[in-house]
Structure 1
Amino acid sequence: MDGYEPDESRLDWRNVDSDPATAGRYLDLVANLIDEIRARATSRLGLEPGGSVLEVGCGNGLEAERLAALVGSAGRVVATDLSGEMILQAQARTRSLGLPIRFEVADAQALPYRDGEFDAARVERMLQHVPDPALVVRELIRVVRPGGRVCAFEPDWETMVLATGGDNEVQRALRRHKVDIRTAHGGIGRELPHLFVTAGCQDISVEPIAHSVRDLALADSILGLSASLEGAVAEGWVSEEAARVWWDQTQARSAAGGFFASMIGVIVAGRVP
């Protein structure tokens, strides 16, 4: 829609190789914003020097560096992604660092590793995009030894709220498009505890974390506001005029310093029996 600022979430996360450069920029942007949350999630794995850990859905490999620092030179990090282009980016970025990381293309729903091969495994912001999140969680548990730890961190897009001063019906339509169409599993955050329980995990911890943004341009980039708004119009849920008025009001609110957006992510961790 004319007048919208381009955002970096206008790509299909179920086919990242269609635009790997944009995907890499988006991952870098979000990683900077949620670095403390990512570190909090990774801490749930209880990694020690010399340990082995699997990361599924590693993207361009940023969190794999943290994992490598935790297990040290005697440890082992295997980081996988379904996207060959993301793996190439991760390899290129870390090649000169001398870290104990092996990047591999692999399907999270059919991991090519032995039962109990790792001390721990993690997944982050990827279950929302896969066809069968429950299968991925079962695979993570399968490849971790008894007593090892598994952790997941995922958003719950239905918790996205916007203080814009505009029509709430438009906001609801925008959120509906993000949850039901742009994301394969828009409410995956709230489903994580159930997935861990049914997969057989024990000693499960659940931590919801709210993240907020005050800048509209940044919120548009990381939340895909304008893309979802355009999608809601295309679906016929709101008129183009109503969407344009809402966007203009949102921009005005932002210019006055009163824009606010937030959503909740959920960290769930458990022990393999």
Structure 2
Amino acid sequence: MKTAEVQQLPKTSGLVLHKAAQYDLLLWLLTLGRERNFRERALGLANLSPGESVLDIGCGTGTLAIAAKRQVGSNGRVHGIDASSEMIRRASRKASKAGTDVAFQTGLVESLPFCDGSFDVVLSTLMLHHLPGTLRSQCAAEVRRVLKPEGRLLAIDFGTSPGEKGIVAHFHRHGHINLSEMAAIFRGAGLQISESGTVGIGDLEYLLAVSPCCDASAEQGAH
């Protein structure tokens, strides 16, 4: 059973949540009491297959990563990273209790601690709205880097309108990020948007994006 790898990280301008014991309750509230449905919907959209390698960025307390591991099976591998050491410790305890082999470690989405082309799938759920504009672009570039050719990204986030009041606005200082903004960010990193829409829970929206089958610059250099 893998244990959590907790490291001292450089300071980030993204929002870092430290109250891990309250995080699962907060997620339950933000998904209108449908956290299990949200998790099942997310994994359905990701369309994971046995043997795939998966990275969950901003994994929180690890519930989605643990569920993803069950889908990819013993021949697949799942990593979860979060900037909060408290989240990573709680995620590791959850995985141990569930008897699930998931590697959790602290890490920043703007500097992912993995080699190029490491993953078939990257999951980003309810995380992008925590990042200011510059970090969103850096995160997208890192996602593109660690995805294998034709690897895919699933991003889910809140589509809250600017100025809207409510529980989302109360808890998240970086506000909303709607579909058009998400699409622009990941297109800018070189990913191809294949699908997008509403999740069917609250104002959650999603997009699926695919990494090109080859590096365009490398292809040009070959001619």
Equivalent residue number for residue 23 of structure 2: 23
Q: Which residue of the other structure, out of 196, 201, 208, is the alignment partner of 1:269?
A: 208
Equivalent residue number for residue 150 of structure 1: 153
Structure 1 residue 28 displacement after superposition:
4.8
SS in 1 for 2:100: coil
Q: For structure 1, which runs of at least 5 residues remain unmatched after alignment?
A: 1-12, 160-172, 212-262
Structure 1 residue 140 displacement after superposition:
1.3
1:100-139 equivalences in 2 (<5 Å): 100-131=101-132, 132-139=135-142
Question: Equivalents in 2 of 1:27, 1:180: separation in Å?
Answer: 14
Q: Which residue of the other structure, out of 198, 203, 211, is the alignment partner of 1:208?
A: 198
Equivalent residue number for residue 97 of structure 1: 98
Q: CA 1:92–1:210 in 2, change beyond 3 Å: closer, same or farther?
A: same
Deviating 4+ runs (over 2 angstroms) = 19-25, 27-32, 34-46, 173-183, 187-190
Structure 1 residue 127 displacement after superposition:
0.5
Q: Which residue of the other structure, out of 152, 173, 185, is the alignment partner of 1:183?
A: 173
Structure 1 residue 271 displacement after superposition:
1.0
Structure 1 residue 34 displacement after superposition:
3.8
Q: Which moved more, 1:115-124 or 1:45-54?
A: 45-54
Structure 1 residue 40 displacement after superposition:
2.6
Cα deviation digits, residues 195-228 of structure 1 (max 9, x gap): 22222112521112343xxxxxxxxxxxxxxxxx
The one-letter code matched in structure 1 to 2:158 is P
Question: Equivalents in 1 of 2:88, 2:179: separation in Å?
Answer: 25
Question: Equivalents in 2 of 1:16, 1:182: separation in Å?
Answer: 10
Q: CA 1:84–1:188 in 2, change beyond 3 Å: closer, same or farther?
A: farther
Structure 1 residue 130 displacement after superposition:
1.6
Percent sequence identity over matched residues? 28
Structure 1 residue 73 displacement after superposition:
1.2
Query: Which one has a bigger Cα radius of gyration?
Result: 1
Q: CA 1:25–1:176 in 2, change beyond 3 Å: closer, same or farther?
A: closer
Root-mean-square deviation (Å): 2.6
Q: CA 1:35–1:107 in 2, change beyond 3 Å: closer, same or farther?
A: same
SS in 1 for 2:207: strand
Q: For structure 2, which runs of at least 5 residues remain unmatched after alignment?
A: 1-13, 213-223
Is the Cα–Cα contact under 8 Å of residues 58 and 125 in structure 2 kept in the other structure?
A: yes
TM-score normalized with structure 1 length: 0.64
Is the Cα–Cα contact under 8 Å of residues 75 and 100 in structure 1 kept in the other structure?
A: no
Bigger helix fraction: 1
